[in-house]
Amino acid sequence: MPARDKPFPPIINAMTVDVEDYFQVAAFEEQIPFEQWSSWPCRVEANTDRLLALFEESGVKGTFFVLGWVAQRYPALVRRLVEGGHEVASHGMNHVRIFRQSPQQFREDCSASKKRLEDTTGVAVSGYRASTYSIVPETRWAWDILHEVGYRYSSSIYPIHHDLYGMPAAPRFAYFPRQHDKGRGILEIPITTLSLLNRRIPCGGGGYFRLFPLAFSRWAWERINHREGQPGVFYCHPWEFDPGQPRIANLPWKSRFRHYLHLEQTETRLRGMLSTFAWDRMDRVFQDRIGKEQGQ
C-alpha cells in the first residue's frame, strides 16, 4: 500500500462555554434563589475573560452560551466575545430548567434571550443550550418552539443517566429530533459520551472532566475522533476556573463535591485538551448539518 504524502486533517471538535456565575447553578437553587442573585459578588466577567485569554493563547475559537441575565449586566463582555471571533449563543434568560416552565413561558424565555443577545451584539443567534440540559423526554416539545422562534441548532442533551438531567436513549451524535413538513426541524447536538462495554461514559466536560484524570479524557476523545470518526462537543463554565470563589454554606454533600472538586486543576487540564485536539465554534464544526435544518 502506498504511503500517504501527508496525514489526514484532524477532526475538529466544538469548544463551548456556558456563561453563568457560580451562584446560578441548579444545585444551589435552594441556598441561593433567583431573588438573591443580586446580593452575591459577581465573578463571571473576570472568569470569562480568563477563558478568553486562554483561548487566544491556544488559537481556539469557541461558542459561548450566554445567560440573558449576564448579557443584561455585562453587555461589553458579550461584545468582546464577538470581537474575539467567538460565537455567541443562548443559555436562556435566568437559568430556569425547561420542565419548570410551561410551553408559553419557555417560548417567552428563549425568545427574550435571543433578542437580548442579538440587540447587544448586532449578530444573529443560531444556537441554544437548555439550563442543566433540561430537554428531557417530558420536554421534547421545546425543540418545536426553538425552531419556531428562529434557532437553528440546540445543544441541550446529555445522553446519559443523571439525577438532574439526561436522555440516555437519545443518539450520541448530532441528529434531527423533529421532522416537519417544511424541513427537518432543529438540529440537536448532544454533549459527547464514550460508548464502552454497552455503557455510555460521560466525557464531554463539566464535573466529569474534573473528576476523571486528564489521561482518560485524552484517551476517550482519541477514540471518538479517530475510531468513530466523529467530532466531539466539550463544555465548561467560567466558575470552574475559579478556586477562589465564595464557598456556599449548608450544601448537601453531593452538590458540594460536584461543584468544588478539583477547581484548582481545571485550567491545567483544559490546556492539555486544547493542545492535543483541534477545536472551533459550534456553528462552524456542524455547519453542513445546520445548513440542512430547513431541508436545504
Report the range of poorest mean pLDDT among 109-123, 151-165, 255-269: 151-165
Domain that holds residue 127: 12-290
> Does residue 7 form part of some domain?
no
Q: Is residue 3 one of the residues assigned to a domain?
A: no
Read off the pLDDT of each residue in 175-190 and give the average, rounded to a whole number: 82
In a domain, 45, yes or no: yes
The owner of cell 441554544 is: 128
| This prediction's pTM | 0.94
**75-83 and 44-58 helices cross at what angle (nearest 10)?**
10
Confidence (pLDDT) at 125: 98
Any domain includes 99: yes
What CATH number does residue 34 fall under? 3.20.20.370
- 2 in a structural domain: no
Of 2-16, 26-40, 140-154, 190-204, the poorest mean pLDDT is in 2-16
Mean pLDDT of the chain: 92
The band of 9, judged by pLDDT with boundaries at 50, 70 and 90, is: low
Residue keyed to cell 442573585:
37
For residue 62 the three cell numbers come to 469557541
Backbone angles phi, psi at 128, to 5 degrees: -140, 140
The terminus-to-terminus CA distance of the chain in angstroms comes to 39
Our count of domains for the chain comes to 1
Report phi then psi at 200, rounded to 5. Answer: -100, 120
Smallest CA-to-CA distance from 66 within 14, 13, 123, 113 is with 113
Instruction: Read off the pLDDT band of 293 (50, 70, 90).
Output: low
pLDDT at 137 over 80: yes
Q: How much is the average pLDDT of 261-283?
A: 97
Percent of the chain with pLDDT strictly greater than 90:
85
The stretch 245-259 carries a mean pLDDT of: 93
Rounded mean pLDDT, 183-198: 91
Cell of 242: 475559579
